[in-house]
Amino acid sequence: MEHATAASPAPIDRFAEVDGLRLHYVDWGGDPRKQTIVLLHGGAANTHWWDAVAPQLVNHGRVLGLDFRGHGQSQWSIPPHYGPPAYVRDVRALVAALGVKEVVLVGHSMGGMVSQWVATNSPEIVKALVIIDAPHGAPPLWRRLMWRWRRRARGGKRPELDSADAIIRKFRLVPPETYLSREELARLALQCAEPLPNGKWAFRFDPETRAWRRMTPGMPRPKLRKITAPTLILRGAESTLISRRALRAMNRRIRASIAQEIPRAYHHVPLDNPDATAAAIASLLETLTPAQST
């Protein structure tokens, strides 16, 4: 299903230097005099998770999607330096590079966790916040144990596969539940991969990002009561990662927040129901004061 209309602008690939790394971000266009909206993806994902959502937001401001270091088209960190502290720096540095005072942060999963840290540690750059199916702190124990097993099984070197068809067969969402069709999953798989000079294919993702806990100290859970920006908290109605109880708890702790469930969506909310996701975000953007012209 195509969600972008024929009038939607073609996204532009742009790059910014952060900590000596070349970070990739996608610019879908839009008027920055209204506001600048920065979309943050989840772990092992990239900006393509926003392909069907972003074009629906350009009437509300300039829309950008960041690839965290080691993800998508962003440069890998050598030696590996990943994890929430590094990703928070990525966001702060991108905002500084854009030359804007504040942004609307929209984060899914890990990106939602990163956005919480940015909002609590650097509130002056966050105009508003959208947290999509992201926990406050660590995911449930059973989910963490499953991810730990997957990290050990895959090892630290990026696998190289023989063909694009092999990429499609190998590609899996984590968690795996989704409303995407087989054809849509295949298209996403190829968008998340690249052909190599040796004729093989590989995913655009550094496996070392999964092992960030051994390379950088963790961060304390963000203090949600310190978040003062207008906040929208979204949960996939069928998510196995974020419970309704967790959604309500976050809603209580963030004073200026609204909680909402997105129907027909598991954890990968922007993929499963991009139209409802975009509509919910747009409803928040419509309440915000336009940015001052420069």
Cβ atoms within 10 A of the Cβ of 286, count? 9
**Complete domains list, the chain, with CATH:** 12-137+223-285 (3.40.50.1820)
> Pairing state of beta strands 126-132 and 36-40?
unpaired
Q: What is the residue-level pLDDT of the chain in tens, covering all 294 positions?
A: 344 444 566 899 999 998 889 999 999 999 999 999 999 999 999 999 999 999 999 999 999 999 999 999 999 998 888 988 899 999 999 999 999 999 999 999 999 999 999 999 999 999 999 999 999 865 555 455 555 545 543 446 889 999 999 999 999 998 999 999 999 999 999 999 999 999 999 999 998 887 766 666 667 889 999 999 999 999 999 999 999 999 999 999 999 899 999 999 999 999 999 999 999 999 999 999 888 654
Q: How far is CA 107 from CA 34, 128, 132, 202, 224, in A?
A: 20, 11, 6, 26, 15
Cβ atoms within 10 A of the Cβ of 236, count? 28
- Tallying the residues shown for the chain, one arrives at 294
Cβ atoms within 10 A of the Cβ of 120, count? 18
